[in-house]
Structure 1
Amino acid sequence: MDTPPSGTFEDLLQIVEGLDTPAGYKAELIRGKIVASPWSKLRYKKVMKSLRLQLVPHAPERHDVDVAPFLFTFPGSERGYGPDLHVADESSFDAEGRHADGAALSLAAELTADSTKDVDRIDEMETYGRVVPVYLLLDMGIGEINVLSEPSPKGYRSRTDVPFGRPVRIPVPFDFELDTSGFLLPEAEAGTPWPRRPTPHPPTRVRQFAGGPFFCRPRLRVSGQSGQSGQSGLSGGLAYAGSPEADACLL
């Protein structure tokens, strides 16, 4: 795994740890930039609770299942993510500081919305796909769960997509059938159809992952650069991606 220039990634981590983000936002490191993105909506709590309770009895030994806002870092990729739900080796939380090693993750899960879909589907999928055994992406917009597994140097080799309401197999090291009926939000349970994709696809599919569409959505990021050691280097505070102070897209 490649190592970033000396001090650069660590400087960014120090900035993130001391950053006072707006209420309801979390700071992450994406492609060498500090990005503030919104936490999951309150109405998603039921879904995260259902997922957590089902994962707990099947988690690897001494791995903790939690929704606490911890940052998991991937220095070789200059990334640091705070997944909506994580399953990680308990020993990774014995260290000092406010971030854990991404290699300790056995599973990461994100409940994605339009504002975060570009990072969840593209950036995180690529980074997790080289290290994390299982990545669950719950698309709350269309009511679908994507199960990615079999990490490799080129990313995940297997992907299964299932609409909410149908069971889906969570692969090793969990190896159980996940019940997604509890993932349906009230409007769907009342009979309101989920928004559909522009291009229809079969309700359940398993395929080799070979990339996907690229999204460019408004996100908050911290403008500026890391600067010298001991200095934050923040020159413009928080700015919306796409503004003069920030890039239009993270791709």
Structure 2
Amino acid sequence: MTPSTADHAQMSVEEFEQLARSAPETVTLEFINGKLEVKPVPDQIHGAIVMWLLRQCMQHRPELALYPEQGLQVETYRGGRARADGALAPLDHFVGQTGEWAAPDGVLMTVEVTSHDSDTDRRDRVEKRDGYAAAGIPVYLLIDRDAEKLVVYTDPHKGEYRNRTSHAYGDAVALPAPVDITLDTDKLKDYAL
């Protein structure tokens, strides 16, 4: 687990939220591990992968929704702010929550699709994973475009996921409870590098 930098954060959560509200539409900001992060604008393949997953979730669990680009309060004591590529939760789960950054309670799974930038290793494979674990989100699905794999993290405990499984594009990927969806990942081969 990455040590928290909340004791010496670059700014307060309130300052970050004010900055994020005034950022231009072409920039997406996150506040992870006490640091300001700039999330790159996704490419078309990234969007196609998120849409592929959204359709699979709708087909298997129509009572759930995969909310793209959902802002979530993450990390211990909700000190971080992450914009998940997808957050799986019951339909209308976020209705009634105010502001851009929702509490993670009730979110069944978060999803990140790696981008081709220099920060994706640290951001998607480490910091966001640990933030989602600290928030108690039961399943974290990382679609790793570089490795052409889906990595499923489960069983969050004390800021870490205790279980990790890795699956190649084309494998049937069983996402455990509370998600209970088996993904047919053959289509992802069409999106490979």
Change (3 A) 1:31 1:50: same
**Counterparts of 2:61 and 2:121 in 1: how far apart (Å)?**
27
Tell me the residue number matched to 2:189. 184
In the alignment, is the contact (CA less than 8 A) between 2:32 and 2:131 conserved in 1?
Answer: no
Bigger radius of gyration: 1
Tell me the residue number matched to 1:70. 70
Q: Give the superposition deviation at 1:145.
A: 0.5
Tell me the residue number matched to 2:155. 150
Unpaired runs of 5+ residues, structure 2, are none
Q: Does 1:9 align with 2:13?
A: yes
Change (3 A) 1:141 1:151: same
**Counterparts of 1:54 and 1:44 in 2: how far apart (Å)?**
16
In the alignment, is the contact (CA less than 8 A) between 2:57 and 2:65 conserved in 1?
Answer: no
Change (3 A) 1:11 1:88: farther
Change (3 A) 1:93 1:117: farther
Tell me the residue number matched to 1:81. 82
**Counterparts of 1:110 and 1:120 in 2: how far apart (Å)?**
7
Amino acid at match of 1:18: S
Deviations, residues 88-125 of structure 1 (Å, cap 9, x unaligned): 34333312222211234211111113422211111111
**Counterparts of 1:150 and 1:45 in 2: how far apart (Å)?**
28
Root mean square deviation of aligned Cα: 2.5
Provide the secondary structure at the position in 2 that maps to 1:110. strand
Tell me the residue number matched to 1:31. 33
Q: Give the superposition deviation at 1:144.
A: 0.6
Amino acid at match of 1:153: K
Q: How many residues align?
A: 181
Change (3 A) 1:79 1:15: same
**Counterparts of 2:62 and 2:140 in 1: how far apart (Å)?**
15
TM-score calculated relative to the size of structure 1? 0.64
Q: Give the superposition deviation at 1:133.
A: 0.8
Q: Give the superposition deviation at 1:183.
A: 1.1
**Counterparts of 1:57 and 1:172 in 2: how far apart (Å)?**
17
Tell me the residue number matched to 1:238. none
Provide the secondary structure at the position in 2 that maps to 1:93. coil
Deviations, residues 1-25 of structure 1 (Å, cap 9, x unaligned): x9x78x932232222122226x2x3
In the alignment, is the contact (CA less than 8 A) between 1:148 and 1:160 conserved in 2?
Answer: yes
**Counterparts of 2:61 and 2:22 in 1: how far apart (Å)?**
32
**Counterparts of 1:44 and 1:92 in 2: how far apart (Å)?**
24
Matches within 5 A, 1:217-232: none
**Counterparts of 1:34 and 1:87 in 2: how far apart (Å)?**
25
Q: Does 1:54 align with 2:56?
A: yes
Unpaired runs of 5+ residues, structure 1, are 189-193, 195-251
Percent identity, please. Answer: 24
In the alignment, is the contact (CA less than 8 A) between 1:167 and 1:177 conserved in 2?
Answer: yes
In the alignment, is the contact (CA less than 8 A) between 1:93 and 1:100 conserved in 2?
Answer: no
In the alignment, is the contact (CA less than 8 A) between 1:46 and 1:183 conserved in 2?
Answer: no
Q: Give the superposition deviation at 1:128.
A: 1.0
Amino acid at match of 1:49: M
